[in-house]
Structure 1
Amino acid sequence: MEIKDVVEIIVQQQNNVRLDTFLAQELNKVSRSFIQKLIKKNLVEVNDKKVKPKYKVCEGDKIVVKLPAPKKLEVKPEDIPINIVYEDNDVAVVNKPQGMVVHPAPGNYSGTLVNALLYYLENLSSINGVIRPGIVHRIDKDTSGLLMIAKNDNAHIKLSEQLKEHNITRIYYTLVKGNITEDKGTINAPIGRHPVERKRMAVTDKNSKDAITHFQVLERFIDYTLLKVKLETGRTHQIRVHMSYINHPVVGDPVYGSKNNKFNLNGQLLHAKVIGFKHPRTGEYMEFDSELPEHFVKVLNVLRNQKKSRQ
């Protein structure tokens, strides 16, 4: 294995912190799971000794981390049909279907939105590297809807600034379990990694970021509510976590909702319906709206018919 770099750290004032957690914090943009793999491959030593990920670091510990050279990744263009709602020389807006992953990740380098974008669009920004060209923001695999794509680095920077300043309009439609009595509301609860199940997010005060979700009731059914949701912040799984937090989980959500799949869904009923932003070159505000996907409409029609039969 080719070693790209060797990092040496002398621990300062640390007590009762796991080695993998400590290194994930110290080495910027390196995940805890990646650190655990390095430890298992004997690429991490503490005081010249092999240790386990759960080792508790102490003040004065000398930690040596050998970082392997990254594998060369090649993401290939693929002729996958996608719905490009808008395109010019700087940006594109794409309506992503449910079930499509936005960008490649280890173990999954094909069939993603990025593979399709590389086939259909001549240029994509390079800021996020080979894996995520053009990708300014993401939505979950089983969330459908609109995404803005940067076709050059200048556009990427300008759109990212708008995201950071919460100036992007992002409106979702979602069907949640139960009846929400108030017509509108705001959920202001910080989101971070679940303390035990690391693949999940949770409302928590530990290692979390502010998360604010605004919602408005559009339609009430028997035991369900259709919501219009506007994001003020954009945390991972934000809508899904917040709705579960107030005991109204998104219908079809296998992670934060019920395991009972009443409507035979392939994922959550969550659709990124509206995206609005200032054009990175002209400064003109642009807004795009999309129709609810067929699988979402089908469930709504079932609920509307049930509601009529009760009246």
Structure 2
Amino acid sequence: MDTPQPTPDEILSRVLHRDGLMLVIDKPAGIPVHRGPKGGPNLEASFDALRYGLPRPPVLVHRLDRDTSGCLVLGRHRKATASLNLLFKHSKVSKTYWAVVEGGPSSDEGEIDIALGRLNEERGWWQKPDPNGFPSLTKWKVLGRGNGMTWLAMEPITGRTHQLRVHCAASGWPIVGDNIYGNGPRFGEPTLHLHAREIVIPLSKNKPPVRVAAPAPAHLHERLRACGWTGNEASTQEAGVSAE
């Protein structure tokens, strides 16, 4: 699924949070965050619409895969961007993803501790389990099951490229629609069923952290419902890894 370049109105409609330091937007699936070597639609090209009176557009402080949807954080000015970069670098930002996987784990919660390394030079970002690679840890919790699939909340403790996708595939339950590490789209449809559901950012020592949740995108609805999701965002907003 290729997503066209968002118009100013479309990108503005995706703002989930705004303060003096940062924006959190709901990234659509199917569009890269950066302009690629071949050009084409990319999220950064729409950021000018998000200045809100500031002299420069906001900038990315982390990235999501092209086919991943959900919470994406932007710094609004240089000092804010530097602070946010440090929070991400030192793993101070908590991220919870929703994934629908094929099959699924037998238990209801756990963690995946599998080191990751690059697949090869030709494949760039692609990763593989590698005992000599970088330590990589993911916590997960089952939120629902159905139709031979499992709905998971996943928290990447480390932030390796493609970490959740490789960890799920290596565990024997690839993410639905993963055309790199899994079984690929079925019937020509689903995009990757991976959504950056919630992000928690400790911006200030004197204030509670900023907590932002992105609604489940339309392409996940059918399989989430098959796993027991009711579609009631209010009741599931806190359904993350650390939920009681």
Which TM class, normalised by the smaller chain length? Answer: 0.7 to 0.9
Mapping for residues 223-262 of structure 1, pairs under 5 Å: 223-259=148-184, 261-262=186-187
State the 1:120 CA deviation.
Answer: 2.6
Q: Does the residue aligned with 2:48 lie in a helix, a strand or coil?
A: helix
State the 1:154 CA deviation.
Answer: 1.3
State the 1:196 CA deviation.
Answer: 7.1
Task: Kindly indicate whether residue 26 of structure 2 is the aligned counterpart of residue 100 of structure 1.
Answer: no
Q: Which amino acid aligns with 2:31?
A: M
2:194 to 247, 251, 270: 270
State the 1:119 CA deviation.
Answer: 2.5
Q: Give the structure 2 partner of residue 299 of structure 1.
A: 223
1:84 to 15, 22, 45: 15
Q: Give the structure 2 partner of residue 33 of structure 1.
A: none
Higher relative contact order (CA 8 A, sep 6+): 2
- Determine the C-alpha separation between the residues in 2 that align with 1:125 and 1:245: 42
Q: Using a 3 Å threshold, how does the CA distance of structure 1 residues 291 and 78 change in structure 2: closer, same or farther?
A: closer
- Determine the C-alpha separation between the residues in 1 that align with 2:33 and 2:146: 32
1:171 to 87, 93, 96: 96
For structure 2, list consecutive stretches of 5 or more residues without a partner in the other structure: 1-5, 230-244
Instruction: Deviation per CA, 1:42-84: give whole Å up to 9, x if none.
Output: xxxxxxxxxxxxxxxxxxxxxxxxxxxxxxxxxxx96361201
Q: Does the residue aligned with 2:147 lie in a helix, a strand or coil?
A: coil
Q: Normalising by structure 2, what TM-score?
A: 0.82
Q: Using a 3 Å threshold, how does the CA distance of structure 1 residues 119 and 260 change in structure 2: closer, same or farther?
A: closer
Q: Does the residue aligned with 2:110 lie in a helix, a strand or coil?
A: strand
Does the CA-based 8 Å contact 1:124-1:150 persist in structure 2? Answer: no
Mapping for residues 278-293 of structure 1, pairs under 5 Å: 278-279=202-203, 284-293=208-217
State the 1:205 CA deviation.
Answer: 3.0
Does the CA-based 8 Å contact 1:144-1:271 persist in structure 2? Answer: yes
Does the CA-based 8 Å contact 1:124-1:152 persist in structure 2? Answer: no
Q: Give the structure 2 partner of residue 211 of structure 1.
A: 136
- Determine the C-alpha separation between the residues in 2 that align with 1:229 and 1:182: 14
Does the CA-based 8 Å contact 2:141-2:152 persist in structure 1? Answer: yes
Does the CA-based 8 Å contact 1:269-1:296 persist in structure 2? Answer: yes
State the 1:113 CA deviation.
Answer: 1.3
Mapping for residues 117-132 of structure 1, pairs under 5 Å: 117-121=47-51, 122-123=53-54
156-165 vs 93-102, which deviates more?
Answer: 156-165
State the 1:224 CA deviation.
Answer: 0.8
State the 1:282 CA deviation.
Answer: 6.6
Q: Which amino acid aligns with 1:116?
A: S
State the 1:215 CA deviation.
Answer: 0.4
For structure 1, list consecutive stretches of 5 or more residues without a partner in the other structure: 1-76, 127-132, 306-311
Does the CA-based 8 Å contact 1:155-1:280 persist in structure 2? Answer: no
Across the two proteins, how many residue pairs are aligned to each other?
221
Q: Give the structure 1 partner of residue 71 of structure 2.
A: 146
Instruction: Deviation per CA, 1:186-208: give whole Å up to 9, x if none.
Output: 111111110476242111134x3
Q: CA RMSD in A?
A: 2.6
- Determine the C-alpha separation between the residues in 2 that align with 1:154 and 1:165: 17
Q: Which amino acid aligns with 1:248?
A: W
Instruction: Deviation per CA, 1:196-239: give whole Å up to 9, x if none.
Output: 76242111134x32211100001111321110001111111110
- Larger Rg, first or second structure (1 or 2): 1
State the 1:259 CA deviation.
Answer: 3.4
Instruction: Deviation per CA, 1:130-159: give whole Å up to 9, x if none.
Output: xxx611100111100001110112111211
Q: Normalising by structure 1, what TM-score?
A: 0.65
Does the CA-based 8 Å contact 2:176-2:184 persist in structure 1? Answer: no
- Determine the C-alpha separation between the residues in 2 that align with 1:270 and 1:276: 18
State the 1:275 CA deviation.
Answer: 0.7
